[in-house]
């Protein structure tokens, strides 16, 4: 599979933060050949970062579609129609558009579009591809450092498609196939979760700074606290509540801090944050 991945021609329609996180993570790990990676964007403002990776940036979506085996759809959800309309217009100017439709059948489409269901993706892509092979994913930005989470579901795919997607994303962290009915809910946690974690890290750092710790040290320690706590949950298999109790001595410092958190409504705020992210997802298209 490693050699197969190296030979893949991979393209991104849309060159924003998530797309570059995936590409940079795979290229930096030597999984993908940067010279076999295309990206199309609406303007050339983002091309500098992509050129630094050694990829092939372009302003034309059709160069990605024509040259790549795997196509990541990484535009804003409301811009997907523009991509389809543009390609339809190009096809109509060709003498045999049916040939292009047949050619696209050999491509795997991987969607990064939040809130866009498989039904919608199939309906739109079917205008330019017969029975499009689609993987819907929700990744997150820590993929860039190999600590990401990607949830996925699929339609019209084959075993090799699933192996390719699992191999790609497994090099960047966890890759889990889930029912589509849970995708938005999962995304509210995994996709938005890193931002929530950064807020917590900053807040913990602020607390330490308030008590006299230098900012750089406070931030480094706060980040490591979250890394260590997360690994404790994953590697011990213990419930977070049990691990919390193991730190809280009767009448001690930690339980005093936990009480302050509960008084401030931290638990409810975290639940509300995930719920708000999920609710917003349904309004993106």
Angstrom CA distances, 85 to 74, 80, 127, stand at 16, 9, 9
Q: Which two tokens stand for residue 168?
A: 């790609």
Sheet arrangement for strand 10-13: 56-58, 37-40, 10-13, 70-73, 108-111, 133-138, 148-155, 173-177
d(CA 11, CA 110): 10
Distance CA 57, CA 39 (A): 5
Handedness of CA 47, 51, 54, 60 (dihedral sign): positive
Handedness of CA 158, 164, 165, 170 (dihedral sign): positive
Please give the torsion angle defined by the CA atoms of residues 173, 145, 18 and 91, in that order, rounded to the nearest 10 degrees.
-80
Known binding-site residue numbers for NADP(+): 13-18, 41, 74-77
Enumerate the known binding-site residues for NADPH. 61
Overall residue count recorded for the chain in this entry: 285
Q: Rounded to a whole number, what is the largest CA-CA distance in the chain?
A: 80
SS3 109: strand
């Amino acid at each position: 599979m490693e050699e197969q991945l190296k030979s893949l021609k991979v393209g991104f329609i849309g060159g924003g933060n998530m797309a570059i996180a995936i590409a940079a993570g795979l290229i930096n790990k030597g999984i993908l050949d940067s010279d076999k990676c295309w990206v199309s964007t609406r303007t050339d403002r983002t091309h500098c970062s992509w050129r630094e990776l050694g990829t092939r940036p372009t302003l034309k979506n059709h160069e990605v579609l024509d040259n790549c085996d795997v196509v990541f759809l990484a535009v804003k959800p409301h811009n997907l129609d523009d991509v389809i309309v543009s390609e339809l217009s190009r096809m109509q100017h060709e003498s045999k558009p049916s040939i292009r439709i047949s050619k696209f059948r050999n491509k795997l489409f991987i969607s990064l579009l939040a809130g866009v269901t498989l039904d919608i993706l199939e309906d739109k892509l079917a205008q330019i591809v017969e029975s499009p092979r689609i993987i819907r994913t929700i990744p997150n930005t820590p993929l860039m450092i190999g600590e990401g989470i990607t949830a996925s579901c699929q339609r019209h795919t084959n075993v090799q498609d699933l192996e390719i997607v699992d191999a790609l994303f497994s090099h960047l962290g966890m890759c889990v196939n889930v029912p589509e009915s849970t995708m938005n809910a999962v995304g509210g946690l995994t996709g938005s979760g890193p931002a929530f974690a950064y807020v917590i890290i900053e807040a913990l750092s602020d607390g330490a700074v308030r008590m006299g710790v230098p900012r750089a040290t406070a931030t480094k320690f706060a980040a490591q606290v979250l890394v260590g706590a997360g690994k404790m949950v994953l590697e011990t298999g213990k419930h977070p509540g049990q691990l919390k109790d193991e730190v809280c001595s009767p009448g001690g410092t930690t339980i005093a801090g936990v009480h302050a958190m509960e008084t401030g409504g931290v638990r409810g705020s975290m639940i509300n944050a995930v719920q708000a992210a999920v609710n917003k997802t349904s309004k993106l298209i």
